[in-house]
A and B are shown apart, each in its own frame.
Chain A
């Protein structure tokens, strides 16, 4: 039985969140708070994660998937202030603005010209209508090193991305502005205007209070899932502006005394590194269906301590951010409280493809084939992870990865021989780096033994402190490195993007034009079947080249009290607390009732009727 008052649910949120500002949050602990206190245009279904209407009651898609119009339902912030489409415009531009410091600002780069704003590109207006990229580059080349240019004929603008970094970039941009601003180009109607791109260039605008228009750079088939993510949730502009007017630090708006949100719950109490209390938001549009008045989220980091709290009934759910201690899994698994489900994340090893002998795809594939993934998940990690030799977990938007061999040491030895390595010419000694964590160490040791046994390869494993590991990885100062990737949205592209040439997080030194082309082509088609085929071809190409070696797909193992209802595990461990409730029948020793089914997908509603005078 719970040891807390009825009408409350207690869970653990793992640690003190860095930010609970949805625009600045970039980690799990903050995301749990954001996903339950704020509401985006859409919301993920609690079981399937399919996007359903939330603040947007409906939407239309035009221009081949490049223009979305969202009709917002009449909603209010938790202080009763009306929420309008302008709040979304403000919030999204705030995320994109580098001055905000949002670590996830690239998340909104699918918006038209968002990258130009986010990268502080040069905005050039006044070019002749027939101006071409080559001419623009010729114009800019003598002034500054240019990474790329983009001409937007529809608006009569162009953007130039300066290649230099830091102080040099600022100086180069100033040089271009000084040289070109006010200069007249032959054939142009007016002199050039050159400045750093600001938020006005971004493809999002409020058509009126309840209509939001979003223009995308390219069609994004998973866009409706993107806008349910916390980064795309609105922040209360009126509160931030009020704080600024009062001369207060606007970052403090998420403190309970100023906190205003638009989701199922509001933040009532925040004890630093102890707990947060959320209270039902009476202004939430769907508050009639929010069943539990209060939720308390503890911030307990130690997994054994969490288990103790669960055992003594102080928490009803161990939370989605802390793992169960692996040594207890065999004992806990048969319990009726035990919940296990796949998690949208993959564990892998990066290969530095510029370093011999890892610059040979045959060597990389041989290393991959010599790893007994089944053995790792069964005897090393023991958390029912899913062995995988492909990057993308199965089932996302109906996607299935190409077939891949999990373990074939004979073929591995053949490939090595083909690459010129055998007993007489063994592979040189290599090093695997990983960050300090028991589970990483045991996996690395297992792989070390497998490579020794099956390939005769001597591998050293090096344990590095977290920030040192990151610094080495960022500088590409490694041969083989542990890695993992958690998907942001339920679409294969959230994983496949990792290996693209432009990805900031591609730690393999592997770039492949064909791979990038297949993904770009896939993402520009609205035909979902054709798209999945192209994405699959891209993954097949990447796995044949093996710039990284997938090992397993994560699973989440959790404990939730049987009296906790409205709780369905999903692949993103998205904890939709609005559905949670405690079944009081358990207090009365009534017979156990089975867990209820998840709610049916919420239908989109027609736009609000327009009155004769045009008002809604």
Chain B
């Protein structure tokens, strides 16, 4: 009796979460995958025909946007690692009693809706706005100069919007480092740079890994920043999916694009994990 209970216990424990995943993850995924292989139109309904051609069309018609999305995602992620590490480092090691206040300040802007914040940037960066207007009046910029509608504006928006998702995991990893380890390295005559390179950075890697996952994936599939801050030459794949699903009711194309993007991102993440050595990262993360 006891043994039965013991063997069943783990399954019972996983049941609520498992059901949740099944209902809200597996079922929609399967539905979407099925839709990507259907043909028809919204008025007459879609019928499953195993039409793989949609995938071919999706990739050939939208390769520019797919590549652009991945490139934007990559630039954003690299910039975020470079920017977030010093911030997280400073808070973790020099934050003192105010650590939580600083973290709160990082998060503060994010209590306002994502879309509203992006639209506010639009107001600031606009051609005759508070930033460019004075510079143009002073003759420092040509009247035709603009930021909105360029790749810079979109990448800037992505970096701004995903910053905390990089700072927080790196902070958590750095926070866990025992100060005595750093002290020991110094005692052994390691120069500050060597301490960072050989001790701090490797120990912070799990945080960087988590941060990259949490920013690269959503940044590559984002459609708000390119929609609000970009122009027709900065279209990202998320916008194409949105247009196909909402404006054209072309559900198979939207599903195929989403699935393809997911496959590409998963492959990318997998390679990244292999290169970094997942075991180390996972072990460190599990500690």
The answer on A and B forming one complex is: no
